[in-house]
Structure 1
Amino acid sequence: MSATPALFRNRNFILLWLASIVGNFALAVAMLAETWFVVKTLGAKEQLGIVMIAGSVPRIALMAIGGVLADRMRRSRIILVSLGSRVLMLFALVGLLAIGRLDIWALTVFAFLYGALDAFFWPARDALIPAIVPERDLTRANSVMLTTNQVGLVFGPVLGGILLATLSYEVIFGLTGVMLALATACIGFINEPFVAKIRQHGSTMLSELKEGVQYAIKTPVLRALMLVYAAANLLFMGPLALGIPIIVTENLNGEPATLSYLQSAFAAGMVIGGILLTMYPPSKKRLLMITVIIALEGVLLAMLAHTHWVWIAVAIQALIGLGVAGNNVPMMSLIQQYSDKDKIGRVMSLNSMASMGLTPLSYAMVTGLLSLHLSMAWIMPIFGLTMAALMVVMTLQMAVIREVD
């Protein structure tokens, strides 16, 4: 009997997976409707950035606390509260719409609360997987979850666009609230194995967070992962996010459809990568695999800056998406495998902070270089090839990258 059917006979995993499918579609539709409401109905496109910042700041700032709570409490209970709170928020949006009081400031508050809930949701969900899935199935389980996330990212906006063309905002937010309620119900039926959380007398959240940081730094595999992803996100996220629209405008035909092709190709590459890793989960030299893939992504990023043919750009974007899946899934499995069960929530959140926390700095670096009139034709190769070189140096200098499975 193969391992894949065994994973899909795991009742707890199936419930978590179903909750992710329904929840991702619901949130993708809600986010698209909210963005469209700000831009078209409120006519406040200049203030859309305020809403986005309001959502991102608490997500990063509170992630470490979310990791501590994931090690203190039942992870399924944290997820339940997070999703249930979002259900209430969506129905509150419906109420404000009905009385004509939904303005940019109300949406900013909702974005802040949503980002804060995210900070508790993700460490808990990532820490729950190894609690309900046997170690031999971890890579497959992470691949399935990543693929599910990307399917929601690709098709959720399509569904949202159809709904926006046919239904009112009140109905759309109400439907997404019902969908999230179904996802919450799935989480409520998960039977998470109880693991007694042993804490020293007088321990505080701050002391437990400090313990998690010290543990991650002292564990060679975890330290290497944090360094690799901090460097990669600093050099990758800014050029990719800001560079694609500029490349479409300057090198390609400048049509909105071309930008959508490139974005869809990236998401499709991640979906394909997730499916391949589900079918053929790696078990050897996974840390080495991560650094090699990130180095190749750096080369592809450099090539993309000098591409003048749409379909070549689409192919490169698909390969980059494939690479992102190819390093994210093994990364999750390595953290879950090499972390002590009572510290996995903190390690997950710290790794996310090490990468996500540098993303705004990456944006700022690229923006600064653009303000100095350095073209994207230079910026993307400089960042991409520097990232590739850095991965090579790290691989040669850190034996754990070459040796660990």
Structure 2
Amino acid sequence: MSVTATHQEALPVPLIKNRNFLLLFFSAFLSSPGYYVYLIGAEWLMLSLSDNRFYFGMLFLGASIPRLLLLSTGGVVADRFNKRFILFMSDLARAILIIVLIAFLLTDTVSAWHLITLAALFGISDAFSYPVINSLTPMVLEKDQLQRGNSLIQMTAQISPIAGPALGGTLIAVLGFTGVFMVAMCMLLVASIIVLFIRLKKEDEEEKVIQTLWADLKEGFVYAKKNHLIISVVSMAFFLNFFFTGPFTIGIPIIVKDIFEGSAVSLAMVQTAMGVGALLGAVFLAVVSLKKPGKAIIWGLVGLGLIYTTIGSSSVLLLTVILVLVMAFVMQVVNIPIMTLLQQTTEKRMLGRMMSLLMTVSTGLVPISYAATSLLIAIGVEIQAIIIVSGIIITGIALNTLRNKRLKAFVTS
């Protein structure tokens, strides 16, 4: 799993001197915030184009459906072909899509359906990039470096909701939507170029197209069935994401604009708090090695449910900002150990498929979550009530997980 020699006597390269890991880190450092700069611009543009909040929900539904449908294929592609090239094409494609949106803006022809269509195309890109970046990480690191390496990669992802909304909200106010999307496009373009300089060992880059697509998919499912710990984790996530993703993702911008009567800067504050909390969680896990990550996952989920319920009942912007920050910290205590768990218990040749399986199964109900949330809002159910009920259910699911002996017994290698 390392870019160093595989001989037993060879010493692992420290993270700070690992060229391949640093390139992957800096690419993610630009790519992820670039996406969030685009996202806050697209969200606020949609809210400005139409007063119909159903369209706003469709923005997320449009991205989630193709992502879900193609994730398994993305995992097979990640295991078969050059991961570096796939990651390059993913970021480049996103940059091109943003150029198309800029063209619509400059010609004053942009519509809600343009944004929904672009969201769907972004979802296709996500289906291929997600398995690749998470299967590349263990290939450039030693096994005992995985928690720290994952934490550092997660830092780049969590800087995104800090730098992205802050920069995006500022650019909307100063330069308008065109300025937001120009910056996002440049960040993604540079990120795609950095990836091309990653050099893996010959055996890591080897392309093994020896089976049909269906045979590769079937092999991945059979492999996963033998790992009861992973099955229990993704089954739990399958239901948790239904009650969290739709209400939170759709609800927070609506709460900020309609209930708090805030601006793009107000939305940036909440989303930045999400990034700060997640960043602090990633830093914490980069420094502290969890001896019993299984228990941390379970109690983290309990805390997540309780905080989420409180967010739904908040009527003050500042309180919501603080609660979101704490919740994001707790989410890292759940997410990073789960990712490390999967990487430690999976053979290298199966990493792409297992990463795609984790996301496919755990997010299987997310499109339905977006649709259900949008429909409930459309028939007049208050978004805060939706979040409160969802938080209570999440807490109940988390408490039930205390009975999961396999997860409670999991320790890092």
> Above 0.5 in TM-score?
yes
The match for 1:390 is 397
- Cα distance change, pair 393–90 in 1 and its aligned pair in 2 (3 A): closer
SS in 2 for 1:62: helix
CA distance in 1, matches of 2:387, 2:59: 28
Alpha-carbon contact 1:59-1:116 (below 8 Å) kept: yes
Which residue, out of 259, 278, 296, partners 1:289? Answer: 296
Stretch moving more, 189-198 or 359-368:
359-368
- 1:22-60 C-alpha deviation (Å, 9 max, x unpaired): 2223322333444455555xx345455544433222112
Counterparts of 1:172 and 1:390, CA distance in 2: 39
Q: Which whole-Å CA distance do the structure 2 matches of 1:389 and 1:73 have between them? A: 42
TM-score by length of 1: 0.84
1:321-341: per-residue Cα shift (whole Å, max 9, x none)?
111111111111111111111
Cα pair 2:81 2:207 within 8 Å, conserved: no
Counterpart of 1:86 in structure 2 is 94
The aligned length equals: 396
Matched, 1:351 2:358: yes
The correspondence for 2:35, drawn from 27, 35, 45, is 27
Moved more, 340-349 or 363-372: 363-372
Give the Å deviation of 1:261: 4.6
What residue is the counterpart of 2:262 in the other structure? 256
Instruction: Tell me, in whole angstroms, the C-alpha distance in 2 between the residues paired with 1:17 and 1:274.
Output: 14
Q: Please, which runs of 5 or more residues in structure 1 have no aligned partner? A: none
Contact 1:132-1:193 at 8 Å conserved across structures: no
1:402 aligns with 2:401: no
SS at match of 2:198: coil
Is 1:272–2:266 an aligned residue pair?
A: no
Describe the superposition over 1:69-124 as per-residue Cα deviations: whole angstroms up to 9, x where unpaired: 11111211210111222333334445555566655555444333222111101111
Name the CA distance, whole Å, in 1 between partners of 2:353 and 2:385.
38
Counterpart of 1:337 (choices 323, 337, 344) is: 344
Q: How does 1:41-60 map to 2 (within 5 A)?
A: 43-44=49-50, 46=52, 47-60=55-68
Percent identity reads: 27
Give me the whole-angstrom Cα distance separating, in 2, the residues matched to 1:98 and 1:241: 28
**Shift in alpha-carbon separation, 1:44–1:5, aligned structure 2, 3 A:** farther
Q: Is the 8 A contact 2:260 2:316 kept in 1?
A: no
Equivalent residue number for residue 141 of structure 1: 149
Q: TM (normalized to structure 2)?
A: 0.82
Q: Which residue of 1 aligns with 2:237?
A: 229
More deviation in 175-184 or 301-310? Answer: 301-310
Kept after mapping to 2: 8 A contact 1:232/1:294? no
What residue ranges of structure 2 are gaps of 5+ in the alignment? 1-10
Answering whether residue 72 of structure 2 is matched by residue 64 of structure 1, we say yes
Q: CA deviation at 1:294?
A: 0.3
Q: In structure 2, give the amino acid aligned to 1:177.
A: M
